[in-house]
Structure 1
Amino acid sequence: MALTSMSLQELIREDFLTCKICYDLYTVPKILPCLHSYCQHCLEPQVRDGALQCPECRLQTDVTGGASSLKTNFFINSLLELFQMKHNRDLACTVCSDAQKILTATARCLDCKDFLCQSCTQGHCCSRLTLHHKVVKLGEFLAGEYDAEMRLQQELCCQDHKQEALRFFCDTCSAPICRDCRMLDHFQHKVVSMANAVQRERPSVEQLIESLAGTITCISDQEKAVAETIDKLKTSGENIKERITKYVDEIISYLLAQKETVLGELSAFLTQQMESCRLVKEELQSQREKAVSTREFSQRVLYVGKDYEILHLEGMIRNRIQELQTYTPQKLESQIPELAIAWDQPHKLSEAALFSLVFPREQPEINMGTILEPESEASLSPSEESEGDPDSPLDSEEDSCPSSEESAPDTPDKNPSCCSRRSKRPERVCTFEVDQCCSPVKPNITGIAALPHGGGILLLDQDNDEIKQYSADGHFQQSIPLPDSDGVFCGISLCGDILACSSDSFLFFLTLDGKFLHKLLLRGSESSYAITSYEDSYVAVSEGTLCSISLYSPLGHCVGRVQPTDYHGGKFLFIAVNAWEEFIVSDFIKKQIVIMEKSGLILNVLKTSQSLLTKPFSVCVDTICNIFVVDQLKVIKFSPDGETGEVVLSNQNRLKRPRVLAMDDSGRLVLVQENGYVHIYCF
């Protein structure tokens, strides 16, 4: 439905206000994360072991508190009130009717919200107290001519103060409040009017909804590509059948047996391929329908919903859209068969099998990665586990890799030698566990930064919203609080004496003691952004599926953007920048490392099929521009040009899997494992 044609009259109808389970009007409508709504009593039998599956899209939702713990859909509730009021044709006067005398209503006062008989209507219009009230004919009211005015007068009352409407929004608590709440429990909180809060949030919700249009278009394009593949399969199959049949008709006595064999093989292959295409197509159609349904519901809420309804559903809409955009479909590997005839000359008919199906090695492949987000980072865990001490460091390794044995120069050389087969084994300097004695929950380290001149390291503890500072020998020094943010912090970087932190789609700038300086909104719509710094000049932000890098000065100004030429369909994740101002980025979707200049020129791409890489994750560089990559259970060291590499640390224990790493200015590698232990190595 186009936004310009969206009307309240189209929403106050029985089909939109009917539960898809009981097919009656909603009773206590509850909304699921997929934005589908059902009656609470209809959902309760669907709860199994603290989980609930949506009857329409099959999305699994945790409901440990039962169906009653789900959010109530106040948007539907308010429309139900209008619907039920308009469809009650036996309305009595609410002023003078009683048990002994019931008078039929002929009018409605929009201000008092009373139904009035003819006598009460005349008195209502003549009374000094109600002289200026708007009294309308009952027929016009029931016909929907005043739905918009009634909708504007609807207000949701506070659960604590029943007579007070929710007209304010507390930014501190992220909750709608009434006038009494503002003066009592929220007196010292940051409070804005409901209208201002909606005006502030509306652009981001609109941007999210608009982004769905591109997702739907891309899915439709993929459907067309699958349809074209099916047509090619059919055409090629028919051509092969025609050629085989013609050939067999000429020499039927000899070829009949082989004819049936090869046609059977072809039929089986086409059936298998078309079934694969059909499954992928159905999956894409289902995903498109979910995206269209989400867009329509979100548009209805955004353009017809009340302020508190929009705020009430904004988080769920955002989560649902991001979930749809991170969907990964089944990869379609199509092969178009061709016919090879062993004997084109009649005198060779008795030498070998006549027919066989061949498949070209290089086939045009449907690129599914351009429209969908990858799986979560947790899925990178390896399938093999072994017993071991979780706090022990990774073992150093030597891999075969030709190189000179000369020591590295003090300054970066633009023509460096590759990593040596006999390169020096890393020596562990110290190991310590991230302190959790003062933390409310177990630390979860997602970002790391090295202080200059051996001043120690900073570890971003995402689950405790703080930065932990340790000395160079692993002694805990202090905790630096993070500023208030609606999202979670995921990355940090040190740019001179300014600390940069990323949280959702914002970049914060702080002093080293945690004092807030400023923040800015990042490009794109990623849930997290990896960052790094180049000396004290700028902070580089990896922009995910945009496959680009934006550069920001410590003052918060955008000073440049790195856009690699003709690079699409990936997702930039971790990022590093070396002394030559070259950027090294791990691509989460394509599972490769990209090395590029500031101009956007790609110097090299390290692919899984051509190097030691399998699933590259965190990256960093040392002072002589060698590249270090976390790859599942190992750390790989590449030469600056990426041509050669070797595994320098590895372990087969999943508990000790490396997570993030950084290199300080003295050439020491700081490595954080998933079990919360930090190891410092010297090369």
Structure 2
Amino acid sequence: MALTVLSLQELIREDFLTCKICYDLYTVPKILPCLHSYCQHCLEPIVRDGVLQCPECRLQTDVPGGASSLKTNFFINSLLELFQIKHNRDLACTVCSDAQKILTATARCLDCKDFLCQSCTQGHCCSRLTLHHKVVKLEEFLAGEHDAEMRLLQEQCCQDHQQEALRFFCDTCSTPICRDCRMLDHFQHKVVSMANAVQRERPSVEQLIDSLAGTIKCITEQEKAVEETIDKLTTSGENIKEKITKYVDDVISYLLAQKEAILGELSAFLTQQMEGCRMVKDELQSQRDKAVSTREFSQRVLYVGKDYEILHLEGMIRNRIQELQTYIPQKLESQIPELSIAWDQPEILSKAALFSLVFPREQLEGDMETVFEPDSEASASPSEESEEDPDSSLESEEDFCPHSEESTPDTPAKNPSCSKRSKRLKHACTFEVNQCFSLGKPNITGIAVLPDAGGILLLDQENDEIKQYSAGGCFQQSIPLPDEGGVFCGISLCGDVLACSSDSFLFFLTLEGKFLHKLLLRGSESSYAITSYEDSYVAVSEGTLCSISLYSPSGHCVGRVEPTDYHGGKFLFIAVNAWEEFIVSDFIKKQIVIIEKSGLILNVLKTSNSLLTKPFSICVDASNNIFVVDQLKVIKYSPDGVTGEIVLSNQSHLKRPRVLAVDEDGRLVLVQEDGYVHIYCF
């Protein structure tokens, strides 16, 4: 940055020589440590308890002696002298003018500092004493053509010796002195000429001034960075506003469409049912009229008719009455509708936040070691995917001991503790999901482990197939999924039967992909997570119903698990341990629930009392330990959820873990959203 140098003429201006407090020319200008100058009489009222605060930059200065103790700005004083002389337009000759006779000056002697009239100018130039003085025209002087020469001839007089100029500098006292001062008070001190002192100090002052260029550049860059941050904040804020508005508009449109659809369905249903009811009612009224008419006629014949008339009509009356009595009314097959609302949970509308702000930088600071390389938030359903370039670098967590809170009586496992040093995970192998025979980029949403080290099954949602790999990661075969037009998202192995969830249906297949059964699931979820308990049943997590249904491999519902007094959540991923305890992740409440088969809730792991932030995929090992994918890390909990530790965590934030499983050998199988599979052993 180039240094801007002002000319002397630019400095001798009224705006530069005006006090910023009184807006008048300086009177006894005092300079503050911040280099701002003000009139002494302007500063005196703002001195508070010996402290003076600069009106411009707010720098505080201690002034025990008041404003008068501050240094006088002689630089401003000397410029003021020039300014005032040049702006006095009624200048008289200072040599011959007196009270009786005033002659207008026409020239100025720079050496004598006298204004001269025409006669005095001629005499001044002819006198032997002033022959060599520089006399200039008054017009040139007032125009500023000789300001530089005037500045050179200006001298500051000593305050102690008014007639002596300050021409020396005392190094001992660091102060300018005059000739008399040098011979008296400063006789024993180290004294140099003023010119030599200035010549000595000028390089260091120039160096300091030059160093300000770097400071100014740094501040300018920081200012630019702040402006860029402001622009980013503004852009991000507008984008978030736009997204929220669009989301709410879409939700309103969706709700209105749902309203119109259900009202239309209700109207059609009521019309059909009403028509059936009216037909049955009309028939019953007709039959009643027939019975009333028969009774009235028969009574008249019986009480009024003659004997032979009664006997003559008795057979007909008997037949008619028997016919009426044997009438079987048409069965009314009517259904009384009831309304089921998927979001009919007060907690969802009153407590659960629909929108939230996330701060990736804060999230980055919260993780301690390298493992995953995700790049986006965990999805709300098992089937959501994110596309990024594969680049994985996974390691295990060794020294991690997160803060734990104190437990309370209402939550038995309120304080999951952490181990001082977690058990080290060793990376066994990594492989990429095969794409050679796929139509699209694989999107893995489900995982199952084959028994007896038989390998791994991965559900590829994008290509509607199941890919089988060996325990070492070698591709073995692809198992086709039924062509039902749905979106498959969950997979589980129940004995020798393969269960897959697609939309609101549960399919049972052989390990070769042969279709066995198809069941309609409860609720109205777009996807269902499933797991299996040995070869007994498949457990289906039922979303906002907050329940679990159990289905046998033969395709029959064999039970239902409904947690006691649990509402307002959304069950997502599910696992079951050897004790038939179900572990589910609640997407809305952001917690993990451990439930007995009877429906009794054994423990709830919340974000406020555990290591959790946003739990996602879940599995259990042979020792019933619980493994949870939580945003950018994997947490291992004890079977009861009381203790927990982070066994894998992230630092690079490039790829996010998606689903996981533990095989019979205790190896952890982890699938990232970019299609890479990592296998770890303890």
- TM-score, normalised by the number of residues in structure 1: 0.44
Structure showing greater Rg: 2
- TM-score, normalised by the number of residues in structure 2: 0.45
